[in-house]
Amino acid sequence: MINGKIGVFDSGIGGLTVLKEIIKQLPNEDIIYFGDGKRTPYGGKSKQTIELFALQSMKFLTQRGAKAIVIACNTVSSNAMDAIKQHYDLPIIEVISTTAELAYNKSENKNIGVIGTKATIESHSYEKALKSMDTKVTVHQKSCPLFVPLAEEGVEWWEDEITKMVAKRYFSFFDNTDIDTLILGCTHYPLLKNSIRQTIGNDVCLVDSAYITAKQTKIMLEKSGLLKKSSSKGILEIYTSDSIERFMPMCNAILGMDCLNINKCDVGE
Ligand code: DGL
């Protein structure tokens, strides 16, 4: 299905940080994005619920012509990969393994911090991925459940003093850990990057999933012979399960363009 679309999904706006990079690295590809704003955040939900929501998103995207899927969500990648792979046989790109590898390569002292949603941290997926590369690596994990609601609340919160106060409270966990690299293990967190940077300081390297996931998507499409042949600019379709009015300003701010093709949908049973 060479002419199919790249399907990208997340619990909400976070996956747009990955989508932006995919558009940059694969400008000719047609892309369909789904953000489940109605049910965000996923991070405090059970594995069964995350699996159910993930399978519903997969169904929605594959029914609309997805030839490959990018799970632009750490929470889904950490909790629902097995369930997704049981039901779907198409190229699927998750965010954990490549992001962990990137962080491992960036870290000099192999002392790495991970922040993510509760479900991602409790799955230990980053810890497992890092330890599988090197058993001697030290991993310090901290869930930051208030970050996703702050990011979803609107652009004005991303650099607000409240957000920095919340970050300060969470990051005291890393005092005396000597981490030199911090994985932003949630695709919403790059939106709060300035607040995170100000709080954690300039000595810690921040690693997120966007660039490396887009690169991995390109490699995967090439390998599967699914790269679009035509050189015409790709078409972008965006769907949200919540209101378009709420989604649009954040979507435009993240992608840095006016997105005209934003639609409302319902993926629940
Ligand atoms: N953007 C998600 C992630 O990467 C989601 C979070 C959530 O809905 O809690 O984990």
- Do 121 and 245 sit in the same domain of this protein? no
Distance from the alpha carbon of residue 11 to the mean position of ligand 1, in angstroms: 6
CA dist list (Å): 102 to 73, 83, 112, 182: 17, 26, 11, 11
Protein residue whose Cα sits closest to atom 8 of ligand 1: 41
- Do 73 and 110 sit in the same domain of this protein? no
Ligand 1 nearest atom to the CA of residue 76, by list position: 10
Judge contact between 87 and 52, C-beta under 8 A: no
Q: Which domain-ending residue is among 207, 232, 252?
A: 207
pLDDT band at 68, cuts 50/70/90? Answer: very high
pLDDT digits (tens, 9 = 90+) for 184-201: 999 999 999 999 999 999
- What whole-number percentage of the chain has pLDDT above 90? 97
Ligand 1 nearest atom to the CA of residue 15, by list position: 1
- Name all residues whose Cβ lies below 6 A of ligand 1: 10-12, 14, 40-43, 73-75, 117, 120, 148, 186-188
Protein residue whose Cα sits closest to atom 9 of ligand 1: 43
pLDDT digits (tens, 9 = 90+) for 76-110: 999 999 999 999 999 999 999 999 999 999 999 99
Contacts 24+ apart (CB under 8 A), 53-56: 53/11, 54/9, 54/79, 54/80, 54/83, 54/84, 55/80, 55/83, 55/84, 55/87, 56/267, 56/268, 56/269
Q: Domain with 166 in it: what CATH number? A: 3.40.50.1860
- Do 175 and 135 sit in the same domain of this protein? yes
pLDDT band at 157, cuts 50/70/90? Answer: very high
Residue 269 belongs to a domain: no
- Do 106 and 183 sit in the same domain of this protein? yes
Return the DSSP state at 234.
Answer: P
- Do 101 and 203 sit in the same domain of this protein? yes
Residue 61 belongs to a domain: yes
Rounded to an integer, the average pLDDT of 17-22 is 98
Judge contact between 179 and 140, C-beta under 8 A: yes
Instruction: Please state the pTM of the whole predicted model.
Output: 0.97
- Do 129 and 190 sit in the same domain of this protein? yes
Judge contact between 227 and 68, C-beta under 8 A: no
pLDDT at 190: 98
pLDDT band at 137, cuts 50/70/90? Answer: very high
pLDDT band at 269, cuts 50/70/90? Answer: low
Ligand 1 nearest atom to the CA of residue 43, by list position: 9
In angstroms, the CA 70 to CA 58 distance is 10
- Do 132 and 192 sit in the same domain of this protein? yes
In angstroms, the CA 73 to CA 70 distance is 9
Query: One-letter amino acid identity for 74?
Result: N
- Do 102 and 195 sit in the same domain of this protein? yes
- Do 184 and 231 sit in the same domain of this protein? no
Residue 247 belongs to a domain: yes
